[in-house]
């Protein structure tokens, strides 16, 4: 199975900051990677798919990049609504999907 290693596990930041979260796959997944945002007690929300395509309705301050095994999610100009937990997910194969461990973005 493909393992996803996400870092950092926690990130403290201030409103207006630019933050970057990294996800590394144990083997190449091309660009079959998604990023989700989750708030307590809520279902995840898709932010980015195919590594860099912004889901409809997601603010443009979110961006994704990478291919192969290294990926990043960047939030520019962090807003109060962005304090949440973020997950990467690989979907390289129908038969096995995996998530990173999650990154909690909290207020510094």
Q: Is 87 among the residues that bind other proteins (CB under 8 A)?
A: yes
The minimum distance between CB 107 and other proteins, in angstroms, equals 20
Residue environment code for 55-80, b if the CB has 16+ CB neighbours within 10 A, otherwise e: eeebeeebbbebeebebbbebeebee
Upstream peptide bond of 8 is cis (omega within 30 degrees of 0): yes
By the rule CB under 8 A, 39 interacts with other proteins? no
Quick one: which of 7, 22, 38, 67 contacts other proteins (CB under 8 A)? 38
User: Rounded to the nearest 5 degrees, what angle is found at the Cα of 26, between the Cα atoms of 97 and 59?
Assistant: 60
Under the criterion CB under 8 A, does residue 91 sit at the interface with other proteins? yes
Q: Is 27 in the site for other proteins (CB under 8 A)?
A: no
- Which residues of this protein are in contact with other proteins, per CB under 8 A? 1, 32, 34, 36, 38, 43-46, 49-50, 55, 87, 89, 91, 94-102
């Amino acid at each position: 199975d493909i393992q996803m290693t996400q870092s950092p596990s926690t990130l403290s930041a201030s409103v207006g900051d630019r933050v970057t979260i990294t996800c590394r796959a144990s083997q190449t997944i091309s660009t079959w990677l998604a990023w989700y945002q989750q708030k307590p007690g809520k279902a995840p929300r898709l932010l980015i798919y195919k590594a860099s395509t912004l889901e409809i309705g997601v603010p443009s301050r979110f961006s994704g990049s990478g291919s192969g095994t290294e990926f990043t999610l960047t939030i520019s100009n962090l807003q109060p609504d962005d304090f949440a937990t973020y997950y990467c997910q690989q979907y390289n194969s129908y038969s096995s999907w995996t998530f990173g461990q999650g990154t909690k973005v909290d207020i510094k």
